[in-house]
């Protein structure tokens, strides 16, 4: 039995990962600070699904609490750490930048220090497709340069990748970063498009459609994300013997460090996404067509060749099936 720390355990991805790990017989410590960035009741409802498992230990703690986190690592002696806790949201970073510094930067270095001093065998951490920023070459590859973020959120995720590499290099801490592409599905975040659209359509309110509906996103169903994470947990990175400083590869290293995209490898135009949702709800949406918002990018598209090669897995859930499962959950949870 492995002991695994999952941070952000009450969050969308964290909850699903905890449930999967517990189902596989792992011992899980689930850390979450239960911030009010969105409905805390939804977070508590997620936790309720897993706290009945005797192998799950919930811990309410802020990543920025250096003393508390240090004590947790010393007492629990984790085999693996999966860091999913973060201040999320591109648009929110425009109005509350300090929240991103406190959790995504200060909190992450506290995680790195905990792993370093307590012989953690593998740190897996959430990055984001947002790190591709101003890049336009498609599909986005982990081997591409990503030095032009267009939001503070994206900059903090890129910083996490750099900080992790430093610890892999200096202290031989095996680190793997996962760039998630627009995750959706049951128990999802209320600030994400699918949740917002569903709520508005069922309440007969118009939906805001940015970039006049011409945005494309590599929407990735939650079960595919979790399968990718599970496989990567068991794939502890080793140094790449072919890495060269003359032509540095950003996805690998002379240190035990790797980066992977987890995306559906199939961009969907926002209008098609909305149409699929309308079909499952049996209602048409009234649309407010708006320009692209600051910090957003017009398209994302994941190159998953490295994930397929190393983890022998490729996300496969079609958008119509994934949206159908979300709508089914939403109607049941909210009694609509």
- pLDDT, one tens digit per residue, over 104-119 is 999 999 999 999 999 9
DSSP code for 102 = I
Whether pLDDT at 248 is above 80: yes
Per annotation, catalytic residue among 37, 153, 257, 301:
153
The pLDDT of 60-71, averaged and rounded, is 97
Residue 301 is a catalytic residue: no
Rounded to whole angstroms, the Cα distance separating 152 from 160 reads 12
Single pTM value for the model: 0.96
Report the percentage of the chain scoring pLDDT > 90: 92
Rounded to whole angstroms, the Cα distance separating 236 from 241 reads 15
Radius of gyration of the chain (CA): 19
pLDDT band at 80 (very low <50, low <70, confident <90, very high): very high
In this prediction, residue 293 carries a pLDDT of 87
Rounded to whole angstroms, the Cα distance separating 195 from 189 reads 7
> Tens of pLDDT along 39-64?
999 999 999 999 999 999 999 999 99
Whether pLDDT at 272 is above 90: yes
pLDDT band at 260 (very low <50, low <70, confident <90, very high): very high
Q: What are phi and psi of 55, to 5 degrees?
A: -90, 5
């Amino acid at each position: 039995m492995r002991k695994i720390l999952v941070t952000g355990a009450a969050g969308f991805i964290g909850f699903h990962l905890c449930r999967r790990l517990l189902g596989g017989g792992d011992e899980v410590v689930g850390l979450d600070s239960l911030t009010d960035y969105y409905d805390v009741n939804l977070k508590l409802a997620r936790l309720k699904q897993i706290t009945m498992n005797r192998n799950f230990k919930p811990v309410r703690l802020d990543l920025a609490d250096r003393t508390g986190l240090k004590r947790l690592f010393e007492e629990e002696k984790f085999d693996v750490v999966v860091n999913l806790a973060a201040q999320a949201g591109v648009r929110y970073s425009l109005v509350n930048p300090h929240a991103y510094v406190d959790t995504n930067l200060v909190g992450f270095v506290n995680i790195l220090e905990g792993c370093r001093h307590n012989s953690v065998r593998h740190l897996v951490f959430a990055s984001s497709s947002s790190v591709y920023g101003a890049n336009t070459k498609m599909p986005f590859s982990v081997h591409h340069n990503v030095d032009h973020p267009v939001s503070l959120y994206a900059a903090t995720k890129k910083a996490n990748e750099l900080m992790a590499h430093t610890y892999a290099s200096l202290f031989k801490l095996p680190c793997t970063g996962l760039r998630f592409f627009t995750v959706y599905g049951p128990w999802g975040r209320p600030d994400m498009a699918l949740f917002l659209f569903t709520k508005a359509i069922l309440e007969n309110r118009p939906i805001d459609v940015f970039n006049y509906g011409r945005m494309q996103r590599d929407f990735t169903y939650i079960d595919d994300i979790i399968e990718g994470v599970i496989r990567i947990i068991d794939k502890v990175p080793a140094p790449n013997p072919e890495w060269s400083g003359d032509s540095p590869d950003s996805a690998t290293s002379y240190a035990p460090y790797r980066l992977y995209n987890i995306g559906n490898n199939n961009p969907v135009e926002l209008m098609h996404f909305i149409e699929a949702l309308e079909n499952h709800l049996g209602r048409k949406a009234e649309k407010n067509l708006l320009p692209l918002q600051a910090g957003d990018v017009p398209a994302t598209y994941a190159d998953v060749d490295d994930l397929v090669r190393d983890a022998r897995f490729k996300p496969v859930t079609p958008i119509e099936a994934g949206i159908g499962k979300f709508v089914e959950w939403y109607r049941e949870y909210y009694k609509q």
